[in-house]
Amino acid sequence: MSEDTRPLPPGVTRRPVVRYTREGHLAPSEPDTVAIEEPLDIRISGDTLAITMRTPGADRFLVTGFLFAEGLIHSAEDLGALAHCGRPGEEGYGNIVEVTPAPGLVIDLEKVGATKRGTLTTASCGVCGRRSVDDLMASCTPVPPGPALAASVLARATEHLRTLQPNFARTGGVHAAAALDERGEVLAAFEDVGRHNAVDKVVGALLLQHGLRSARASRPSTSRATVLVVSGRVSFEIIQKATVARVPVVASVSAASALAIDLAERAGLTLATFVRDGRFNLYTHPERVREG
């Protein structure tokens, strides 16, 4: 079976492309594999909370992680039901998710803020409307010191990520995020066109499959997530999501913004950047990393 007729995995599709060659010629049009980007309308009891542009797939994890990061839920027990609206085959099916809170729980949509509710949250946005580190830290509890992480585990963190990016290998057009335990074992990993969406999917999986709970939950968290690995630049919203999820170490293939570094310092997170080829740079809380 040729590459052109081979079934594609979820999250990618084909479009025609004309390539300009090194020899100075325009090659004939041929199919190319590209990432899918579609809107997801997140609704709470019928009201639109946000619309995010994402790669379809793992929507249950994406929505759960998004609600958790925004402080609207504190554990999996806060979710009553979460399902796509409509019927398979109908136009738009799969792009609307309806969330029903657990019995007795009222989700306050105003917590998200007027800048996000009912508006488009793009694939690079994340925490639109957040104005400062002080605003965020007022609603987040700093991450406790926790056990020391071996430097060798941290140095190999992004190697795990590369093996978990099949859609990036095909398209070059998606980000990835993964959660590792202190031994470097992968707990959850996802790809998405949006950096913050990939992280939300990982956090949602930690909630639904690994016992993650916020500091405000009635029962303590049982999640073993120690490192959040991301494929792109570390920005403010990535650190925000790691802080809420109580993941003490963030590792990135790329750089970090100044605001992300400031928030990581305040939140008690260890931030490692340019984690590649067995090396990394530590910007905050290096005491959490031990040689070995």
* pLDDT of res. 133: 67
Task: Tell me how many domains the chain contains.
Answer: 1
pLDDT of residue 33: 93
Say if CB 204 and CB 218 are below 8 A apart. Answer: no
Most distant CA pair in the chain, distance: 67
Residue 5 — very low, low, confident or very high, per pLDDT cuts 50/70/90?
low
Catalytic residue among 85, 125, 128, 140: 125
Of 43-47, 172-176, 177-181, highest mean pLDDT: 177-181
- This prediction has a pTM of 0.89
Angle subtended by helix axes 236-244 and 195-210, to nearest 10: 10
Q: Name the one residue in this structure whose structure tokens are 């500091």.
A: 215
Q: Is residue 134 part of a domain?
A: no
The answer to whether position 268 is within a domain reads yes
Does some domain include residue 254? yes
Is 270 in contact with 247 (CB distance < 8 Å)? no
Share of the chain above pLDDT 70, in %: 88
pLDDT above 50: residue 115: no
Q: In 3D, which of 80, 64, 61 has the Cα closest to residue 72? A: 64
pLDDT at 114: 43
Question: Is 85 part of any domain?
Answer: no
- Domain containing residue 269: CATH number: 3.40.140.10
Asked whether the predicted pLDDT for residue 113 surpasses 70, the reply is: no
Each residue's pLDDT tens digit, 49-81 = 999 999 999 999 999 999 999 889 999 999 999
Is 125 an annotated catalytic residue? yes
**Burial class of residue 202 (count of CB atoms within 10 Å of its CB; 0-12, 13-18, 19+):** buried
The pLDDT-based confidence of 140 (bands split at 50, 70, 90) is confident
Closest CA to 49 of 114, 101, 104: 114
State residue 147's pLDDT score: 77
Residue with tokens 């492309």: 17
Let me know if residue 252 belongs to a domain. yes
pLDDT band at 179; cut points 50, 70, 90: very high
pLDDT of residue 260: 93
Is residue 197 domain-resident?
yes
In a domain, 64, yes or no: no
Range of the domain at 282: 149-290
Q: Is the pLDDT of residue 124 over 60?
A: no
If one compares 239 and 146, the residue with the highest pLDDT of the two is 239
Mean pLDDT of the chain, nearest integer = 88
Hey, which residues does 16 pair with through a beta bridge?
A: 31
Please check whether residue 74 lies inside any domain of the structure.
no
